[in-house]
Amino acid sequence: MAELPSKRPAWAALQSHLASAKNLHLRDLFAGDPGRGTRMTAEAVGIYLDYSKNRVTDETLKLLLALAEASDLKGRIHAMFSGEKINITENRAVLHTALRAPEGATITVDGKNVVPEVHAVLDAMSAFADRVRSGAWKGFTGKPIKNVVNIGIGGSDLGPVMANEALRFYAKRELNFRFLSNVDGTDFAETVRDLDPAETLFIVCSKTFTTQETMTNAESARQWSLATLKDKASVAKHFVAVSTNAAEVTKFGIDTANMFGFWDWVGGRYSMDSAVGLATMLALGGTQFREMLAGFRAMDEHFRSAPFEKNLPVIMGLLSVWYGSFFGAETVAVLPYDQYLKRFPAYLQQLTMESNGKRVTLGGAEVDYQTGSVYWGEPGTNGQHSFYQLIHQGTKLIPCDFIAFCKSLNPVGRHHDLLMANVFAQAEALAFGKTAEQVKADKVPDWLVPHKTFPGNRPSNVLLLEKLTPFALGSLVALYEHIVFTQGVVWDIGSFDQWGVELGKVLASRIVPELEAAAEPDLKHDTSTNALIKRYRAAGR
């Protein structure tokens, strides 16, 4: 079995460096190094990354880069991009990068170039989107489509939800998009309650087409639609599918001519730029969707070719390893200062936590260091009036990623200057804080001084972009995809399986018949689960 990364000399070097690095304060690092704020930056694909407010020295960065080398990050990047089956527990290639490969590229999986298929699906999605957007696609009664409901969950929901919100500015506003994911009947009822079935198109989005929540919602949607439209032939006009499972799609009654495919080498949480993005394509149209893909692709190229010391995903990935595995930080806050990115932290939660929430190495050995962090966040400035307090003055170390755009899509009076002033001020305050001396100088009574003192030394990255466009969104998502990859390689874990999710799918289906059985079931769970099931049954549902 391969040795744990923590046993490598490069890891040990960082561990011993930590002893001194822990005591450094960003105040001193900046005071002693006038070039720091411009030197510790990197720029690529329209993203300016200022990582100077991190608790690192040039020596730390050198050691982190050495750790990346020792982890064979270069080799692993090559393995991913070239279609090697690096998802070893499922024996699959990991090729979300092929989803945005240019036409004419060659990426081979099991002896077959997958790029032509990718573009064939994109063309089919684009043609379909044109018809719906122009009104040429008619519902069963001849009315054009007004409402689009994406039914999916996890990777078949969070990406489109986030992207449709993020790119709303560019969307066809006449189309009304909704996203139905939860198996809770309330989600279904509230999603459809004011919609007219004759004007509503459902996208049943499921890689496997067997996911309990999605199939239950799809079945309820079909019944709801048929209750008005009456004729089974209407299903073909009001339901389309995104799936890899043609047999199940046909069984559901959807014409496979209206099925948009993808492949087992695309993980759910890496699929928003595949056919899973059909709702986004319907909102944006083919041209703008392809601009988003170009943003992904540009970041892919940067990740694959830029030297590590200038490589955005590598730098950010290594910094998060530094805090998570060495400082013991448990979380990362992602703080977009753009209202359109309000679902971006939720999207990143799945991307990062499902990918790197693993406790054994690829070789199966239990790790003795922290792996995936808890990612969370809210758009600025709202978070400032709630949880930022804990980041500034609490006992936990929470590295932050600030994301901001120089130009507003909705310039209104002074709003954007105020918004941006807040980003810069927060990053500054977190880093430098306010010393007791400074507080005293404000004539604060002695007893109040500790309460008004800010220790500072709270690390952050600032990502500054020009404007939120489809290209910019693609580049940001790909940035985080590759940050996750970098982390996973250094931790030597499998970032592309999700056995915990699979377990949930199995466990729930075991209990369903026990809830629904007419006769009292013979329960064989633990005493707590047995009692809960009995109480639920006794309540009479």
Catalytic residues: 354, 385, 505
Where does this chain touch ligand G6Q (CB under 6 A) — which range of 203-211, 386-394, 463-471, 531-539? Answer: 203-211
**275: exposed, middle or buried (Cβ count in 10 Å: 0-12, 13-18, 19+):** buried
Say if residues 255 and 242 touch (Cβ distance below 8 Å): no
Q: Which is nearer to ligand G6Q, 206 or 461 (CB)?
A: 206
Angle at 301 (CA atoms; ends 299, 305), nearest 5 degrees = 120
Q: Does 208 bind ligand G6Q (CB under 6 A)?
A: yes
With CB under 6 A as the contact rule, the residue among 165, 338, 354, 492 that binds ligand G6Q is 354
Q: Does 267 bind ligand G6Q (CB under 6 A)?
A: yes
Helices and strands per DSSP (H, E), number in the chain: 23, 13
Where does this chain touch ligand G6Q (CB under 6 A) — which range of 149-157, 277-285, 289-297, 328-336? Answer: 149-157
Q: Which is nearer to ligand G6Q, 152 or 197 (CB)?
A: 152
By CB under 6 A, the count of residues binding ligand G6Q is 15
> Which of 224, 150, 217 is CA-nearest to residue 186?
217
Which position has the token pair 């970041």?
299
Q: Does residue 89 have a cis bond before it (omega within 30 degrees)?
A: no
> Which of 312, 329, 274, 294 is CA-nearest to residue 482?
312
> Hey, which residues between 397 and 436 contact ligand G6Q (CB under 6 A)?
none
Q: Which is nearer to ligand G6Q, 170 or 209 (CB)?
A: 209
**148: exposed, middle or buried (Cβ count in 10 Å: 0-12, 13-18, 19+):** buried
Q: How far apart are CA 105 and CA 193, in angstroms?
A: 46
With CB under 6 A as the contact rule, the residue among 268, 277, 380, 399 that binds ligand G6Q is 268
Q: How far apart are CA 427 and CA 46, in angstroms?
A: 21
> Hey, which residues between 30 and 89 contact ligand G6Q (CB under 6 A)?
none
Sheet with strand 259-261: strands edge to edge: 176-180, 147-151, 200-205, 239-243, 259-261
Where does this chain touch ligand G6Q (CB under 6 A) — which range of 154-162, 221-229, 281-289, 312-320? Answer: 154-162
With CB under 6 A as the contact rule, the residue among 53, 133, 178, 207 that binds ligand G6Q is 207
CB of 190 to ligand G6Q, least distance (A): 21
Q: What is the DSSP letter of 31?
A: H
CB of 177 to ligand G6Q, least distance (A): 18
With CB under 6 A as the contact rule, the residue among 5, 139, 144, 155 that binds ligand G6Q is 155
528: β partners: none
CB of 266 to ligand G6Q, least distance (A): 9
CB of 353 to ligand G6Q, least distance (A): 11
Give the contact letters, 107-146, x = binds to ligand G6Q (CB under 6 A), - = no: ----------------------------------------
Where does this chain touch ligand G6Q (CB under 6 A) — which range of 23-31, 124-132, 267-275, 312-320? Answer: 267-275
CB of 272 to ligand G6Q, least distance (A): 11
With CB under 6 A as the contact rule, the residue among 154, 379, 459, 488 that binds ligand G6Q is 154
Give how far Cα 469 sits from Cα of 282, 295, 355, 405, Å: 17, 9, 26, 10
Give how far Cα 496 sits from Cα of 95, 101, 266, 409, 510, Å: 11, 20, 9, 35, 26
Q: Does 211 bind ligand G6Q (CB under 6 A)?
A: yes
Give how far Cα 89 sits from Cα of 98, 420, 484, Å: 21, 45, 18
Nearest residue to ligand G6Q, scored by beta-carbon proximity: 154
Q: Which is nearer to ligand G6Q, 60 or 206 (CB)?
A: 206
> Checking DSSP bridges between strand 400-405 and strand 460-465, what pairing results, if any?
parallel
CB of 137 to ligand G6Q, least distance (A): 24
Q: Does 156 bind ligand G6Q (CB under 6 A)?
A: yes
Q: Which is nearer to ligand G6Q, 68 or 242 (CB)?
A: 242
Q: Does 358 bind ligand G6Q (CB under 6 A)?
A: no
Q: Does 373 bind ligand G6Q (CB under 6 A)?
A: no
Could you count the other beta carbons within 10 Å of the beta carbon of residue 524?
Answer: 8
Provide the binding-site residues for ligand G6Q, judged by CB under 6 A.
Answer: 153-156, 206-208, 211, 214, 267-269, 354, 498, 501
